[in-house]
């Protein structure tokens, strides 16, 4: 097992920014700038603005006009990438080792001081509105994010993640620049570099790019805290679809909770690969064309869900399989074969992510933002050591039948619907098992 905490050089600059450097025998080097400014950081009146700012960072800065940043990195042999998540926005530059100096300096310039040019903003808002429309045409996204809204009443995870189209189109330069000024500060920023590099030289480059960044801002107000709640909820959506999308879920745990690794392993047992419990229960007999399960744990909350894509006539079969398989895992835990298959899949996926310089830098920055880079070592050790009894106990604590919520996206012409009676018929009496 790799020992990440022993091999990463960590330095906190006087301005509060954290640097992480990880030399690795790779033919490329990646620079990742991780800013704690994601969907959960946005007040309701600017929901979606983190993603808008992500687009604008690459569209001009004091040194670069529109398109110049990408051309500079490409000329150095590399490429740019970025994404916005619930907890953060990350900007990536991947280059050959000899391009590190140019790429690191260019990315720092763009992230620190985007121009937010009004013309570029207008163009990018149009692009993002189209992206939002495509997302609404994605049945899985509609079902999954409706489930979030069904499980959480006030927490920001309940919102349509990309933002509403009318609100996106109305963002002003002042709002986007103001959000950057409030959230993009050194104390909320981690810069990680991994790959074929020399440690001290890389640290010198990063210090030169980031040490003089001295902006500060008051900590943003936290979002509303979700009160406890028990009880089932159900919702039916209608769409111009042929296959139905069904999602069932529960409130679960945040990423640092002791049960999080067990719930990840539980999700793999239920929904990862053709040997998973739901694949055997629903795909093999032809009820569903796809199944899945996941733990979403971005920050201070968590959400465990199972899902299927299927002919709507098999809605009851899907609900019954979800109820039966989760109840069985809570009562008896996974079999030895189930446990080792799921463990192998998760470890293999983790290894694939960490094979590349980009994957390493991103994982290091994410772990540091949650707590510190030692978390990568601890998570792997925990995953390797989890027992069937621990997975069973976690399922019993968090997958209570009396607290399940479920969403079905059904074709317009299908007469049935997913209501509380149908949910209760699958998951049993309201008071649980």
Query: pLDDT grade, residue 62 (50/70/90)?
Result: confident
The answer to whether residue 114 is domain-embedded is yes
Range of the domain at 423: 233-427
Decide if 225 is inside a domain: no
Residues 39 and 118 in one domain: yes
Report the CATH number that the domain containing residue 169 is assigned in CATH. 3.30.830.10
Is 333 a domain residue?
A: yes
- Give the Cα separation of 366 and 35 in Å (integer): 10
pLDDT in tens, 63-105: 888 888 889 999 999 999 999 999 999 999 999 999 999 999 9
Enclosing H/E stretch for 153: none
Residue 356 lies in a domain: yes
- The pLDDT tens digits of the residues spanning 18-59 come to 999 999 999 999 999 999 999 999 999 999 999 999 999 999
- Contact predicate 409/241, CB 8 Å: yes
pLDDT of residue 32: 98
Contacts of 414 (CB under 8 A, 6+ apart): 244, 312
Q: Which segments of 308-387 does DSSP mark as H helices, in order? A: 315-332, 336-353, 357-370, 374-385
Last residue of a domain, one of 195, 210, 225: 210
**Is 158 part of any domain?**
yes
Q: Residue 355: enclosing H or E segment and its boundaries?
A: none
Q: Are 250 and 298 in contact (CB under 8 A)?
A: no
- CA 345-350-355 angle, to 5 degrees, is 125
Beta strands across the sheet bearing 79-84: 9-12, 18-23, 189-195, 29-35, 89-95, 79-84
- Judge whether residue 431 has pLDDT over 70: no
Alpha-helix residue ranges (DSSP H) falling in 137-251: 139-151, 165-169, 173-183, 199-210
The two most distant CA atoms of the chain are separated, in Å, by 67
414 and 307 together in one domain: yes
The mean-pLDDT minimum among 159-163, 382-386, 428-432 falls in 428-432
Which pTM was predicted?
0.95
What is the number of structural domains in the chain?
Answer: 2
Q: How far apart are CA 289 and CA 182, in angstroms?
A: 45
Burial, 89: exposed, middle or buried (Cβ in 10 Å; 0-12, 13-18, 19+)?
Answer: buried
Do 198 and 67 reside in the same domain of the chain? yes
On whether residue 218 sits in a domain, the answer given is no
Do 48 and 156 belong together in one domain? Answer: yes
Residue 222 lies in a domain: no
pLDDT score of 202? 96
* Same-domain pairing of 183 and 271: no
pLDDT, average across residues 297-321: 95
- How confident is residue 1, by pLDDT bands cut at 50, 70 and 90? low
**199, 313: one domain:** no
Residue in this structure with the two tokens 């739901």, named with its chain if needed = 278
324 three-state secondary structure: helix
Where does a domain end: 176, 210, 244? 210
Helix (H, G, I), strand (E, B) or coil at 71: helix
Cβ pair 310, 246 in contact under 8 A: yes
Same domain, residue pair 203 and 348: no
Does residue 251 share a domain with residue 158?
no
Residue 221 lies in a domain: no
* Under 8 Å between Cβ of 285 and 320: no
The last residue of one of the domains, among 178, 210, 242, is 210
Res 432: pLDDT: 41
Using CA atoms in the order 347, 348, 353, 357, what is the torsion angle rounded to 10 degrees?
100
């Amino acid at each position: 097992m790799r020992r990440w905490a022993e091999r990463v050089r960590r330095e906190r600059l006087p301005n509060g920014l954290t640097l992480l450097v990880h030399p690795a025998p790779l033919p490329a080097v990646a620079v990742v700038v991780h800013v704690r400014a994601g969907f959960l950081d946005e007040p309701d009146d600017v929901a979606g603005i983190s993603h808008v700012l992500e687009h604008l960072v690459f569209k001009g800065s004091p040194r670069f006009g529109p398109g110049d940043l990408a051309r500079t990195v490409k000329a150095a042999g590399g490429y740019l990438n970025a994404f916005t998540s619930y907890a953060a926005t990350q900007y990536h530059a991947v280059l050959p080792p000899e391009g590190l100096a140019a790429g690191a300096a260019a990315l720092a310039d763009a992230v620190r001081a985007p121009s937010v040019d009004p013309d570029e903003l207008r163009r990018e808002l149009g692009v993002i509105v189209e992206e939002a429309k495509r997302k609404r045409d994605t049945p899985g996204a509609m079902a999954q994010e409706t489930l979030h809204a069904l499980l959480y009443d006030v927490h920001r995870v309940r919102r349509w993640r990309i933002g509403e189209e009318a609100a996106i189109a109305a963002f002003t330069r002042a709002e986007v620049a103001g959000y950057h000024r409030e959230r993009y500060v050194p104390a909320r920023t981690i810069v990680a570099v991994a790959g074929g590099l020399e440690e001290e030289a890389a640290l010198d480059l990063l210090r030169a790019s980031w040490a003089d960044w001295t902006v500060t801002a008051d900590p943003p107000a936290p979002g509303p805290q979700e009160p406890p709640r028990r009880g089932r909820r159900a919702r039916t959506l209608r769409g111009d679809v042929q296959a139905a999308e069904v999602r069932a879920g529960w409130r679960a745990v945040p990423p640092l909770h002791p049960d999080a690794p067990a719930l990840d392993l539980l999700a793999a047992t239920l929904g990862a690969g053709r040997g998973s419990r739901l694949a055997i229960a629903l795909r093999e007999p032809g009820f569903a064309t796809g199944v899945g399960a996941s733990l979403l744990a971005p920050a201070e909350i968590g959400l465990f869900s199972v899902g299927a894509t299927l002919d709507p006539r098999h809605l009851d079969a899907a609900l019954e399989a979800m109820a039966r398989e989760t109840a069985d895992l809570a009562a008896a835990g996974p079999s030895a074969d189930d446990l080792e298959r799921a463990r192998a899949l998760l470890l293999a996926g983790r290894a694939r992510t960490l094979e590349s310089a980009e994957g390493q830098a991103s994982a290091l920055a994410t772990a540091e933002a949650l707590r510190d880079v030692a978390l990568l070592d601890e998570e792997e050790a925990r995953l390797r050591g989890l027992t069937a009894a621990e997975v069973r106990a976690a399922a019993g604590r968090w997958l209570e039948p009396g607290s399940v919520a479920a969403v079905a996206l059904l074709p317009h012409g299908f007469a049935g619907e997913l209501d509380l009676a149908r949910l209760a018929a699958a998951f049993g009496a309201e008071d649980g098992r």
